[in-house]
């Protein structure tokens, strides 16, 4: 992962070339350049921002074929208690309309591993789909455990069974089989297995807890909702901007990004809750207190970069590459 990955991120107004309903709550959108131009390359695990009216920005994983340079595919779940982004998309993004996009970026890259366990919950299945295609191409030993409320809500259930077969694809509709049996799946640490997991926060939290005894970096997860953070113990600290030597104070009730915004220091941002990776900034001195949901444990331990929208400081001063 590189710092400042979004500074040169391309934005584009793309055409909705196809829209399909996968379930009563999930639509599939195919996006193309209006003049048929090629879109930026991406790899399994990547997501894009959809830039919506009223400065709403929403992240969606690309779930099509990375080899198809003309089409990006996303699946959008209509969030019942959402803040309006998915409702706007369901209502307004019909075939023939355009939508502004930014990215792609990838904080959930598919790496190596002899044996791969995919765990997907609900719409969290989307980033895993191109990974499964790549794992198949690479001849890896893999299996998927895909949970959802019921079979009819699992947008890609039939498609995945057809593409990859029931030896590999295990469907766990909650109303038929209960929750994914994590104890059996990952209760015992293995050194030959890499886990890729995306889904609702309770699933991710449960998987993270059970993987505590697994080798470092065996688990790769992607969160689209922020981890719960206790702000009560926040303290103030200083940041120094290396380019100018300017020192700023970050009060206990504001984020680094807030303070940088106040001073018109340009730092790209999107989610502002530590989930998208857009505000990743290089740390030159000091020790950050990482509160993001993007960096892996070893990336956090290296303290090379931090997400300035949520993370704070363990030391009185941080020097940032800004």
Min separation Cβ 281 and ligand FES, Å:
9
Q: Which C-beta is closer to ligand FES: that of 117 or that of 294?
A: 294
Q: Per this entry, what is the length of the chain?
A: 322
Query: Rounded distance, CA 214 to CA 192, Å?
Result: 10
Q: Which residues inside 244-273 make contact with ligand FES, applying CB under 6 A?
A: 269-272
Q: Which C-beta is closer to ligand FES: that of 105 or that of 170?
A: 105
- List the structure tokens of 299: 């990336």
The 27-66 contact track toward ligand FES, x by CB under 6 A, reads ----------------------------------------
Min separation Cβ 6 and ligand FES, Å:
9
Min separation Cβ 292 and ligand FES, Å:
6
Min separation Cβ 262 and ligand FES, Å:
16
On whether the CB atoms of residues 9 and 105 are closer than 8 A, the answer is: yes
On whether the CB atoms of residues 315 and 287 are closer than 8 A, the answer is: yes
Q: Which C-beta is closer to ligand FES: that of 52 or that of 218?
A: 52
Min separation Cβ 312 and ligand FES, Å:
13
Q: Given CA atoms 180, 184, 188, 190 in this order, what sign does their dihedral have?
A: negative
Q: Which C-beta is closer to ligand FES: that of 73 or that of 293?
A: 293
Tell me which H or E stretch contains 105: strand 98-105
Min separation Cβ 227 and ligand FES, Å:
12
Exactly one of 276, 283, 319, 322 binds ligand FES (CB under 6 A); that residue is 276
Q: Which residues inside 301-320 make contact with ligand FES, applying CB under 6 A?
A: 307, 309
Exactly one of 127, 147, 277, 286 binds ligand FES (CB under 6 A); that residue is 277
Query: Rounded distance, CA 245 to CA 270, Å?
Result: 26
Phi, psi of 74 (to 5 degrees): -130, 155
# of chain residues touching ligand FES (CB under 6 A): 14
How many CB atoms neighbour CB 303 within 10 A? 16
Can you say whether residue 178 is alpha, beta or left, with left for phi > 0 and alpha for psi between -120 and 50 degrees? left
- Binding piece for ligand FES, criterion CB under 6 A, among 29-37, 177-185, 236-244, 277-285: 277-285
Q: Which residues inside 201-220 make contact with ligand FES, applying CB under 6 A?
A: none
Q: Which C-beta is closer to ligand FES: that of 68 or that of 262?
A: 262
The CA–CA distances, whole Å, from 12 to 29, 161, 254, 269 equal: 16, 34, 32, 17
Q: Rule CB under 6 A: is residue 104 a binding residue for ligand FES? A: no
Q: Which C-beta is closer to ligand FES: that of 29 or that of 271?
A: 271
CA torsion 322→233→216→170, rounded to 10°? -110
On whether the CB atoms of residues 154 and 146 are closer than 8 A, the answer is: yes
Query: Rounded distance, CA 11 to CA 103, Å?
Result: 7
Q: Which C-beta is closer to ligand FES: that of 132 or that of 307?
A: 307
Exactly one of 44, 85, 104, 274 binds ligand FES (CB under 6 A); that residue is 274
Query: In 26-81, where do the E strands start and end?
Result: 26-32, 47-51, 57-61, 72-77
Q: Which C-beta is closer to ligand FES: that of 173 or that of 268?
A: 268
User: First-to-last CA distance in the chain?
Assistant: 18
Exactly one of 27, 154, 279, 320 binds ligand FES (CB under 6 A); that residue is 279
Where on the chain is the footprint of ligand FES (CB under 6 A)? 269-272, 274-279, 292, 294, 307, 309
């Amino acid at each position: 992962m590189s710092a400042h990955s979004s500074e040169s991120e391309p934005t584009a107004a793309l055409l909705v070339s196809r829209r399909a309903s996968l379930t009563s709550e999930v639509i599939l959108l195919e996006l193309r350049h209006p003049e048929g131009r090629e879109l930026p390359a991406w790899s399994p695990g990547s997501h894009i921002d959809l830039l919506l009216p009223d400065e709403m920005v929403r992240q969606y994983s690309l779930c099509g074929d990375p080899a198809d340079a003309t089409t990006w595919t996303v699946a959008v779940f209509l969030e019942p208690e959402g803040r309006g982004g998915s409702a706007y998309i369901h209502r307004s993004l019909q075939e023939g309309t355009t939508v502004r996009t930014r990215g792609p970026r990838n904080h959930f890259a598919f790496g190596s591993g002899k044996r791969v366990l995919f765990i997907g919950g609900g719409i969290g299945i989307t980033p895993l789909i191109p990974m499964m295609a790549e794992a198949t191409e690479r001849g890896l030993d893999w299996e998927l455990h895909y949970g959802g409320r019921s079979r009819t809500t699992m947008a890609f259930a039939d498609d995945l069974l057809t593409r990859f077969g029931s030896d590999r694809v295990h469907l766990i509709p909650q109303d038929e089989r209960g929750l994914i049996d994590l104890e059996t799946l990952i209760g015992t640490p293995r050194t030959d297995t890499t886990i890729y997991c995306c889904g609702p926060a309770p699933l991710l939290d449960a998987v993270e807890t059970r993987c505590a005894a697994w080798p470092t970096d065996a688990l790769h997860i992607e969160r689209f909702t922020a981890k719960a953070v206790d702000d009560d113990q926040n303290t103030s600290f200083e940041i120094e901007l290396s380019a100018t030597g300017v020192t700023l104070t970050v009060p206990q009730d504001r984020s680094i990004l807030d303070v940088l915004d106040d001073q018109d220091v340009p730092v790209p941002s999107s989610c502002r809750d530590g989930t998208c990776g857009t505000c990743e900034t290089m740390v030159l001195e000091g020790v950050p207190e990482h509160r993001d949901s993007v960096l892996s444990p070893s990336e956090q331990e290296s303290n090379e970069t931090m997400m300035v929208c949520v993370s704070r400081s363990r030391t009185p001063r941080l020097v940032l590459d800004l």
